[in-house]
Structure 1
Amino acid sequence: MVQRASARLLKEIRRSHTVYAYVDVTSPTQQIRRLPATGGEVSVDRTAAVRRTCKATCVDPLGDLVPSGTDSLLTPYGTELRPYRGVRYADGSVDVLPLGVFRLAKVSVSDATGGSPDIQLEAFDLSRTVARDKFISPYVIASGTNIIDAIKAILARTFPDLSYDAISTTRTTTAPRLYDVGDGPWEAVTELALSLGCDIYFDVEGWVVIAPPVDIDALPTPDFTYIEGEQCTMLDLSRVFTDEPGFNGVVLTGESPGDELPAVRAVAWDEEPTSATYHLGPYGEVPTFVTDQLIKTTEEAQATADQLLRNLLGFSAQLSITGIVNPAYEAGAVVEVVRERSHVSGLYAVDAFNVPLDRGGTQSLTLRQKRSAG
């Protein structure tokens, strides 16, 4: 999953280039101010409770951006940040990509004698705002509610006008689903999405994505390559082999309360004989157990178990890469890495990465191997 970056940009970042980065700041009253970014980064981790975080450093030479009160632009009371990074071409044109939509959480000002004030901004994607907007009274999802509609209704409590990139489903609740006072709405929608075998997150444009994880075996080509040789943007790598968490199977039980249907069960295993965690190989079977009250049929159970398994496989062979920055990534992107002397040649899923906002920064990627290349 890589943003629709231009071929020209992807070619430019493989050679010496001029970085162009900035942060658009939007106040609660829709005032917009563009700030040059002199430091900081956007960090993305698909396994974290909040997928995207942003830290940015901006210089205020005129002193008009330093907060003077709670109604100032750079205060954490509804202000949003939209950072961008890309390149400036030799002809003077620029090509940038969005890095996310963030709610400002913390502002720090450093003012040393003889210089301009430095402003440090810390922000999180909109899932944190949803998570903090906890239920203040019992919240009930009625029996027979479509799961996607239920997710949208919960998110609309916090953000009424969200845009969605979501799968369609006919799956519904079989009994009223109750959330107590103080329960977390983001945890609720994450559980609902998981019952469909889906991830849920805010993308770089602030849209809510509800979709299954990428099936690497279905991809004809990787999103980006790090193949040793000319124009390879990989600077170094390290490898870790581990059996934690090590799950190579999912045993899913669908209890479906509220109707007279019997419980259903499905099992999904790592069935690839060449995989290090092949369940009939020397590694053995290491299942995780999932119970879901929204699943009513064996077909639904099997489809969900298969999709959940895709999230688990590959952690036994982890790879960390440092490279020249590619701002087009989204967590779940698939990359090919080839480095002969380290005996690395395979396709990897990107679980975490950073995008520096300063010109000299490098990019760190955390990858897990899904299959050998070729």
Structure 2
Amino acid sequence: MVQRASARLLSEIRRSHQVYSYVDVISPTQERTRLPATGGDVSCDRTAAIRRTCKATCVDPLGTLVPSGTTSLLTPYGTELRPYRGVRYAPTPEHPKGEIEVLPLGVFRLAKVSIQEQTGGSPDIQLEAYDLSRTVARDKFISPYVIETGTNIIDAIKSILARTFDDLSYDAISTTRATTAPRLYDVGDDPWDAVTVLAQSLGCDIYFDVEGWVVIAPPPDIDALPSPDFQYIEGERCTMLDLSRVLTDEPGFNGIVLTGESPGDELPAVRAVAWDEEPTSATYHLGPYGQVPQFITDQLIKTAEEAQATADQLLRNLLGFSSQLSISGIVNPGFEAGAVVEVVRERAHVSGLYAVDSFNIPLDAKGTQNLTLRQKRQGGG
């Protein structure tokens, strides 16, 4: 979330400042090379199967980094990219060149390298990379894979991911929920899809964060937050450049109807329903909008309590799409999808708290940041 940026950095980006960015390139043998970034960006979308992508343009004035073979550093055969963006502060006696503060933007596996060269100029190197979920997804099951009865769900997720990466770090909830019957994955099945479904049964998102940790956690509850992570309030030092607003009834779900069917035992199926219960919400289920439920069946849920808790958490992922904002502004490098921002712009009749669903972070100083937001709570709610 935005809190990982220091208060000093968040204050600095609200005024004229010097951008500082670079990309660390790490070989499979842990050789590290730092490249200045002249263009490109990192994109993050919490609704996408691959949450983060990176495109970077780097200049190689000496031509020493242009790949000459499959073992070169900048080849898509296990090389990682770790981009950073931040600011260089004004010089001080302690830091005559200006202190630098940067934030990590993700851990990516290099997927494509393009080299462009014009006569008399230095080669431009275009890099495309994806977060580590793509690597997991490409590592398909090559033989039937079974999760045994009674396996803790978090342990099952870790076991699947360990097929691809045996040294991952986790920021995960704890749970006592376990499988009630063997789960079989066929040859060719997608392991990332498998762990995504397992996490969803706990009411959780799963993704790789900017440090390469695996996060397994419920989506943030806007109504439970005491304050937003960042503010775009019109007036002095507001970093919002423009805004567009869309009101839509697609996908429009305002409820979850969840059925838990646990094969392997004699327990009857359980059912839970969760609705948008906020009377001030445009999609309040007892208001003129009506009831638009999404139906979900989960074979890992076996009690009414588990079903209700999961339905309540999944509902948080649905609400707010009826009122969406697109914002462009000065770049804040500290965002994570799911962050909560407050937006106030009187002429557009906008005042409320919004969840950040997608955004980009340009690597060059001239780029602007584009955010897609969805509303969950009115200002002052």
Matching of residues 17-28 of structure 1 within 5 Å: 17-28=17-28
Deviations 1:321-372 (A, max 9, x none): 0000000000000000000000000000000000000010000000000010
Deviations 1:143-182 (A, max 9, x none): 0000000000000000000000000000000000000000
Amino acid at match of 1:18: Q
Aligned partners of 2:120, 2:19: CA distance in 1, in Å? 28
For residue 371 of structure 1, what is the aligned residue in structure 2? Answer: 377
Amino acid at match of 2:187: V
Amino acid at match of 1:193: A
Q: How many residues align?
A: 374
Structure 2: stretches of 5+ with no match in the other structure: 92-97
Deviations 1:280-301 (A, max 9, x none): 0000000010000000100000
Asked if the contact 1:51/1:201 (under 8 Å) is kept, the reply is yes
For residue 98 of structure 1, what is the aligned residue in structure 2? Answer: 104
The answer to whether residue 239 in structure 2 is matched with residue 233 in structure 1 is: yes
The answer to whether residue 11 in structure 2 is matched with residue 11 in structure 1 is: yes
Asked if the contact 2:150/2:179 (under 8 Å) is kept, the reply is yes
Amino acid at match of 2:244: S
Matching of residues 168-317 of structure 1 within 5 Å: 168-317=174-323
Aligned partners of 2:220, 2:309: CA distance in 1, in Å? 14
The answer to whether residue 74 in structure 2 is matched with residue 68 in structure 1 is: no
Aligned with 2:4: secondary structure?
A: coil
Aligned partners of 1:345, 1:161: CA distance in 2, in Å? 44
For residue 326 of structure 1, what is the aligned residue in structure 2? Answer: 332
Shift of 1:5: 1.0
The answer to whether residue 83 in structure 2 is matched with residue 83 in structure 1 is: yes
Amino acid at match of 1:201: Y
For residue 132 of structure 2, what is the aligned residue in structure 1? Answer: 126
For residue 31 of structure 1, what is the aligned residue in structure 2? Answer: 31
Amino acid at match of 1:34: R
Amino acid at match of 2:46: R
For residue 164 of structure 1, what is the aligned residue in structure 2? Answer: 170
Aligned with 1:217: secondary structure?
A: helix
Q: Compute the TM-score of the two structures, normalised by the length of structure 1.
A: 1.00
Amino acid at match of 1:281: G
C-alpha RMSD of matched pairs (Å): 0.4
Q: Compute the TM-score of the two structures, normalised by the length of structure 2.
A: 0.98
Structure 1: stretches of 5+ with no match in the other structure: none
Asked if the contact 1:324/1:362 (under 8 Å) is kept, the reply is yes
Shift of 1:313: 0.3
Asked if the contact 2:3/2:229 (under 8 Å) is kept, the reply is no
Aligned partners of 1:137, 1:277: CA distance in 2, in Å? 46
For residue 50 of structure 2, what is the aligned residue in structure 1? Answer: 50
The percent identity for this pair of structures is 86
For residue 95 of structure 2, what is the aligned residue in structure 1? Answer: none
Amino acid at match of 2:144: P
Asked if the contact 2:261/2:297 (under 8 Å) is kept, the reply is yes
Shift of 1:3: 4.5
